[in-house]
Structure 1
Amino acid sequence: MITFSFNGEKVEAQPQSIEQFVHEHIGSDEGVAVAVDGAVVPRSQWNRDIQSGNVLDVLTAVQGG
């Protein structure tokens, strides 16, 4: 088990990649941006594993006006 922060909430989970986490918790990766420890992670690097202690921020684009 690893422990990390997801959008300000403490999470305990099995080790997994950013991509797996996004698909599990957000559903679609369309319009999604991810930052780990304050640094934006390009989608091409989402195969990297989330580490214990990471601060993961996931943002989704919303249409409207």
Structure 2
Amino acid sequence: MNLIVNGKGGTYEESCRTVADLLSRSGWTGRLVIVELNGEIVGKDVYGDTLLSEGDRVELVHFVGGG
């Protein structure tokens, strides 16, 4: 499946069906992250239920501490 993640196109295996699957494959596990799917914010409580489709645009935003 082809997705655009943070502005970069990529091919993901067919088993990457949900937002939760994507986060587990891309090294985002355990990070405080906000997910935007096709312009809509996805709540953390529905990552496992939110299906990805061919050509979806996903933005992953994480917080960085510092001063």
Aligned length: 64
Runs of 4 or more consecutive aligned structure 1 residues displaced over 6 Å after TM superposition: none
Determine whether 1:36 maps to 2:37.
yes
Rounded to whole Å, the distance in 2 between the matches of 1:49 and 1:14 is: 14
Query: CA offset at residue 42 of structure 1?
Result: 0.3
2:53 maps to 51
Query: CA offset at residue 30 of structure 1?
Result: 3.0
Give the percent of matched residue pairs that are identical in Structure 1 and Structure 2.
Answer: 16
List runs of 5+ in structure 2 lacking aligned partners: none
Q: Which residue identity does 2:45 align to in structure 1? A: S
- CA deviations 1:5-62 (Å, max 9, x no partner) are 0000001112321111112113424311100011100011111221101100001111
Does the CA contact (< 8 Å) of 1:23 and 1:29 recur in 2?
no
Does the CA contact (< 8 Å) of 1:35 and 1:58 recur in 2?
yes
List runs of 5+ in structure 1 lacking aligned partners: none
